[in-house]
Chain A
Amino acid sequence: MSEIRTYADNRQPLDRNWLHKQWRHLRLWRRFLLQAVVRETHYRAHFATTLLVGLVQLGLGIVPILLLFGFTQEVHGWSRAEVITLVGAYQIITGLMAAFVAPNLQRMTEYIAEGELDGVLLRPVSSQLYLTLRWINVAELSNVASGIAVLVIGLVQSGASPNVPQLLQAFVLAVCGLALLSTVWSAMSFLAFWLQSVNPIGFIYLNLVEAGRYPLVFFPVPVRAFLTFAFPVAFATTYPVQALAGDLGWTPVAGGIALSVVAVTLVRMLWRRGLRSYASASS
């Protein structure tokens, strides 16, 4: 390829090195967060409604569990308290997704079908990161708080007293689960490059993720495989709670990290492919 002719002055590249680039993106994300907090203070009623709806949903989510354990003491080795811990974990993870990831992926159709992506591509920022994390719904963090409360109640009731390594396992697994669910949802949303409209696909994700309310062993074996590897909600709820209860080794943790690396790489490739097929809607 011959040299690109440019009329601009020679300039230093924006980033001195890889580390600097990551740091710059982190600072940018901090700005997004601050802006979101300021925005939220303008819509206090929205905050109150989100909080209230979140609490009602949490309550209704526990109803089937309470009913189920009204008829039995344990199901496949899970007691009521342990499943309530799991509901807490589910609430935390879905709250985090709804706060940081959902507001972005729900805009994917607009970005791609209406050509808004053009404006993003011109900015000196990783476009995938920008599209996945630009918008933050601060009010959803109230659901994370209520999830933590339920998690603690469940842990106290089940009499679990996790030590530091177990806490670490649970934390790493939950982070992997969060990363895996985000990549799966991203991958589903990036299909917008080829399908034009992906709004309904978000519903599939939101309905499938409901499976995370229950321990993995409550499902038949083929479904368990699906919920571990294809739609890896198991890493977000079942495994962290098992780690807290102390009956999980480091193997699933290593598996979770490996799977996350693979998933992130794959979704990165999908994004690159999609970008190449992007023809811009406005130009």
Chain B
Amino acid sequence: MDTVVRNLRVLRRMTAAQIVQQSIYRGAWIIFMAANICVPIISLLIWRTAIANGAQLPIDDRYVTSYFVVLSFVTMATSSWLTGFLANDIRLGKLSSWMVRPASLLLTFVANNVAEKFLKLFALVPMIGVLWWIFRDSMNLPAGPDRWAVFAVSLVLGAILVFTIDILIASLAFWMDDVTALAQARVLIASVLSGAVVPLALMPDWSRGFVDNQPFRYTVSFPVEIVAGGLSGQELLVGLGIQAAYVFVFGILARLVWAVGIRAYSAVGA
């Protein structure tokens, strides 16, 4: 228990420090968020045009609109960029200095991740607000606060899931010289399987069983679906269960690989 409390205290301090550090780049965050919102807007306009033009989609334009308006927020909130940095720290031996400190190197990445999202929020929320206002009449939004609460829980679980998958891939740097290509492959595959490019509801029927149950759906698409609609109460519960299970499994896996990796670690000075 003491370790948890101590780690939380360290995390709080490091997050505060990271926020101060990263707020130097506040101009850059605004531009980054403006860039991130471009592709969801493009997709939104394309699919709305297709529906207006008579395409017979399994979802209506209210779903599509709410989906893409909420999408950029969820991709931001569940994103992580640690793979490259963590792999570099392992490869170049920066990990060595952390091994004698009373906290894990991973904790800095958690702090970095939380700080980065906190600052991005200020840039992104106004932009989504404008988008929301433009499309306010053609969106499905859950009325009661309970759906929003479930959305918040699922968002946190999604963020943890992405973070652990990234730790898992970065940890391979203990054994491989270069994980860049692997990380890039993961980003590309995830962009389609997470629903960040096309809503998963539009995937062909033959892929349903796979698409609905693979882990990447629970990193982005599932939280968005909770808000955009189309999930019954039961589907919601089952989904949350699967999401929690994935977090648990990937958490254990990442923990295991990290622990084995630390033992295999042999950088100069370790």
Contact = CB atoms under 8 A, between A and B. Distances in A.
Contacts of A60: 188, 191-192, 197
Interface in B4-34: 27-28, 31-32, 34
Nearest to A200: B31
Given A203-B31, A207-B39, A218-B50, 10 more contacts: A57-B188, A63-B197, A68-B46, A71-B50, A71-B55, A72-B55, A195-B27, A199-B28, A200-B31, A220-B49
A52 B28 CA distance: 30
Interface in A187-226: 195, 197, 199-201, 203-204, 206-208, 210-211, 214, 218-220, 223
B176 interface: no
14 contacts: A52-B181, A53-B181, A57-B188, A60-B191, A60-B192, A67-B202, A68-B50, A76-B49, A200-B27, A200-B32, A203-B36, A204-B38, A207-B35, A218-B45
B214 interface: no
A197 B32 CA distance: 13
A210 B42 CA distance: 8
Nearest to A75: B53
B46 A214 contact: yes
| Chain B interface helix/strand/loop/mixed | helix
B92 interface: no
A76 B42 contact: no
Contacts of B202: 67, 71
B53 A76 contact: yes
A13 interface: no
B220 to A, nearest CB: 15
A206 B203 contact: no
B35 A75 contact: no
Interface in A55-79: 56-57, 60, 63-64, 67-68, 70-72, 75-76
Contact of B203 (A67, A197, A199, A203): A67
A203 B35 CA distance: 6
B198 interface: yes
Interface in A39-64: 49, 52-53, 56-57, 60, 63-64
B88 interface: no
A27 B31 CA distance: 38
Contact of B53 (A72, A195, A207): A72
B133 to A, nearest CB: 16
A75 B50 contact: yes
B31 A223 contact: no
A219 B38 contact: no
Contacts of A218: 45-46, 49-50
B43 interface: yes
B232 interface: no
Contacts of A75: 49-50, 53, 55
* Smallest CB-CB A-B distances: 10 pairs: A72-B55, A207-B38, A203-B35, A200-B31, A71-B55, A207-B35, A204-B35, A200-B28, A218-B49, A75-B53
A190 to B, nearest CB: 16
Contact of A53 (B45, B55, B188): B188
Given A64-B43, A218-B49, A219-B49, A71 B31 contact: no
Nearest to B199: A67
A214 B198 contact: no
A210 B38 contact: yes
A146 to B, nearest CB: 15
B204 interface: yes
A134 to B, nearest CB: 25
Given A68-B50, A201-B31, A207 B36 contact: yes
